[in-house]
A and B are shown apart, each in its own frame.
Chain A
Amino acid sequence: MKKVFLGASVLALVAGTAAAQTQTPVRVMWYSDGVEGAVMADILSRFEAENPDINVILDNVAFQVIQEQLPVQLASGTGPDIARVTNLKAQADHWLDLRPYVADPAYWEANFGDRFDWMRPDGSDAIPGFMTQLTLVGGFANATLFEQAGIELPGPGASWDDWIEASRQVAEDQGLPAAFSIDRSGHRVAGPLAAYGETFIGDDGLPAPLSDDAMEFITRLVDWTGQGLMLPDTWVSAAGTTYRAAADDFTNALIPFYYSGSWQVANLSTKIGDAFDWVATGSPCGPVGCTGMAGGAGLVGIRYTQNPEAVARVMDYLASEEVVREFTERTLFLPAHAGIVAEGGLNFQSDDPNVPPALSRFVEASGETLPATDALPAWRWANSVYGALVTRISQAMAGELTLEQARALIDRDIADQVEAAR
């Protein structure tokens, strides 16, 4: 009896390992801002059911892991097989060219082709992956606070000054600690800088020194912080390039106006619930335009994978129109799939009456971006510029630097990065 039992278990063990051996593993490194991790897990389990020979392992990691550990892994020629990344251009050398492996390169070109330059080296024709979503930087207003204060929401075409003045009135009337906040991120302020006339990229493709136009907005930002209009908690209370979001301050109704981006819609909807009404406002205007920054997260194959064919099959599945549509509808993200955008008719899954108008406002605002901001996602030095902006502007806000000093140091930090890469 004992022997039979032993034999059976050995057999089971062998069978188990045999099954595991025939399955090709594909690792996906994924971070989540909201529900997308759960949605992706669900979609992948369906993929596995249809493709029993591939075992997809989804690693949900903190965003910090993508930013700090993944680059080190890539540099040493390791890493997952697929990763969801925001820093796409600077690491473009590490992405796998899927063109020889995907079933239909023409489908990829037609639907995702516009953004391949965001994630491949200049001049390459590779298909590195696709954008899981587009994001657009823009504002949110707490309509209930505005209503209680009896202040009209500034309409389309309202300038940054108009918005801050209106928010100031609301904050004063309602006894709030501040009028507005912007996430602590260079990416967030790059849009307003462009709206004031900054172009970032010099004639040689390298970063240009900061213009007087950019200083115009930076001066305002620092002044607003000094006057207590911008919530100091977000920018001032951290050093270096640390990212800090002000979403919690907005959902707790501490600020009537919040400048962040489209990816916040799902988060705001769950956190705010029924507590107040909120609207997406697009980007306030500067002298040159009313632009936010476009961007997004891309899902890319990693060059160091052992199984490029399996990776391509997973990517083909995830990039297929119906899966992208489902993912978009469930996560409340803006789609990056040209076919779906053209077709429209997305059925966003939310009971929250604030969500559909907010999403359509962002879609509308995506037509208002300026060429200066559109060029940044595909520009190698964008992250250096963002990093320098955050570090030095917050020092100026904290009173450690004058604006002139900050300007000189931003230029120097960026020049150092260019120099180091030579």
Chain B
Amino acid sequence: MENEIAQVKATAAPEGSDRRLRRLRDRLGPLLRQVVLLPLVLISRAIDPVMRLIQAKAGTGGMIAVFLIPNMAIFGIFVIIPIILNFVYSFTGGAEILLDQRAWVGGQQYERLTDCQNYLDPLSCREDLFWRAAHNTFFFVLFQVSLMVSVSMITALILNRNMAGRGFFRAVFFFPVLLSPVVVGLIWRWILQREGLLNLIVTNFGAERVVWLNDRFYAFAAAIGVSTWAHMGFFTLILLAGLQAIPKDLYEAAEMDATPPARVFWRITLPLLGPNLAVVLVLALIRGVQIFDEAYVLTGGGPGTATMFMTQYIYEVGFASLLRNPGLAAAASILMGAVLVVLTLMQLGLSRRAEKARER
């Protein structure tokens, strides 16, 4: 996996820049660097002897530990332990929040979650809302990932062309990635509401006003569209880097043979983009399954439960709702985690295979 990501590395040459600006940069750069680095130099003077001592006492192995411990300690306390606790929670029952006050119930929560007559009909399940969330998440991921990959692909192909303002447009599509999910949800809720911008446009074309977020179809489409809007810039960049890493002479050769563009795409571009595409696909899948903040702010899960996704279900049951049940939420999150692990293994498998194919 590491190789392919290293391979994704951009080789983009700096684009034509202003000469005067460069001169200013050349003059200011070293000065600025010295000012910024001064505290670092001082720190390093102080640390060096200590580290030397540790290395002398504990050897290189000790130094590995020194490098790893700060990160892994924090990681262990704030990520691993909560995950383990979560696992324990899923075997307890009751409404109490703290683990030591909760009763052990064994696999009851899992039984309750998976108690279904027909998995395709949420209403036949003991926990109908869990299955509704599962269905919604499944369809969301299916459509959102397809849309995300195709839109990012098209944009990357266009940005890979030799045209004016490429740097500008590349930045344009990246802009929403920097916004917080809450702001993204807020902006679009504001546009899609009854008195919003979209209805202004729609009525200008003579159509009737629609309360978009009250309609099952439109609300679902909005959740898909908005999350694509917010993240496509990121995936576009990964694909673009892959496109730029494809040797130019391949295209030149194809051009000399007068190969039709569609054939060039299927025979050269797509196969060579394989590893990047795999990264994009699996990352988009993982993020799709985790969808929460922007959809929650945008639709609140409505209309009805049409846009209630898995993470919202877990958050509501475990934390927010009047009908709180932390054990059930933990069990649901473990099940969701299992699905995510399968997706990760898929990522590893896919990239291994792509790597082998490339070596051949």
A residues at B contact (CB < 8 Å): 67-68, 71-72, 75-76, 177, 186, 232-233, 236-242, 244, 254, 383-384, 386-388, 390-391, 394-395, 397-401, 405, 409, 413, 416-417, 420-422
Pick from A237, A240, A387, A420: contact of B303, CB below 8 A: A237
**Contact between A232 and B97, CB atoms less than 8 A apart:** no
Which chain A residues lie closer than 8 Å to B308 at the CB level?
239-240
Q: Mark B67-106, 1 if CB is under 8 A from A, else 0.
A: 0000000000000000000000000011111100100000
What would 11 more interface pairs be, CB under 8 Å, given A236-B303, A239-B308? A186-B322, A232-B211, A233-B194, A237-B299, A237-B300, A239-B301, A239-B305, A384-B323, A387-B321, A387-B323, A399-B304
A–B pairs, 29, beta carbons within 8 Å: A67-B320, A68-B319, A186-B322, A233-B213, A236-B214, A237-B300, A237-B302, A237-B303, A238-B300, A238-B302, A239-B300, A239-B304, A239-B305, A239-B307, A239-B312, A240-B305, A241-B320, A241-B323, A242-B301, A384-B322, A386-B322, A387-B322, A387-B323, A394-B302, A398-B302, A398-B306, A400-B306, A401-B123, A421-B95
B residues at A contact (CB < 8 Å): 93-98, 101, 123, 128-129, 132, 194, 211, 213-214, 216, 219, 299-308, 312, 316, 319-323, 325
> Which A-chain residue is minimally distant from B319 (CB atoms)?
A68
**Contact between A237 and B213, CB atoms less than 8 A apart:** yes
Pick from A75, A240, A401: contact of B301, CB below 8 A: A240
Q: Which 4 A-B pairs have the closest CB atoms?
A: A398-B304, A239-B301, A387-B322, A238-B300
Q: How many A-B residue pairs have CB under 8 A?
A: 104
**Contact between A388 and B323, CB atoms less than 8 A apart:** yes
Distance of A240 Cα from B311 Cα, bound (Å) = 13
Pick from B93, B216, B304, B319: contact of A420, CB below 8 A: B93
Minimum C-beta distance from B307 to chain A (A): 7
Which chain B residues lie closer than 8 Å to A398 at the CB level?
216, 302-306
**Contact between B98 and A75, CB atoms less than 8 A apart:** yes
Which chain A residues lie closer than 8 Å to B319 at the CB level?
68
Which chain B residues lie closer than 8 Å to A400 at the CB level?
132, 304-306
Distance of A68 Cα from B318 Cα, bound (Å) = 10
**Contact between B302 and A239, CB atoms less than 8 A apart:** yes
Supposing A236-B304, A400-B304 touch, asked if A241 and B321 sit within 8 A by C-beta, the answer is yes
> Which B-chain residue is minimally distant from A399 (CB atoms)?
B304
**Contact between B301 and A238, CB atoms less than 8 A apart:** yes
Minimum C-beta distance from A396 to chain B (A): 9
Which chain A residues lie closer than 8 Å to B303 at the CB level?
232, 236-237, 398
> Which B-chain residue is minimally distant from A236 (CB atoms)?
B303
Which chain B residues lie closer than 8 Å to A68 at the CB level?
319-320
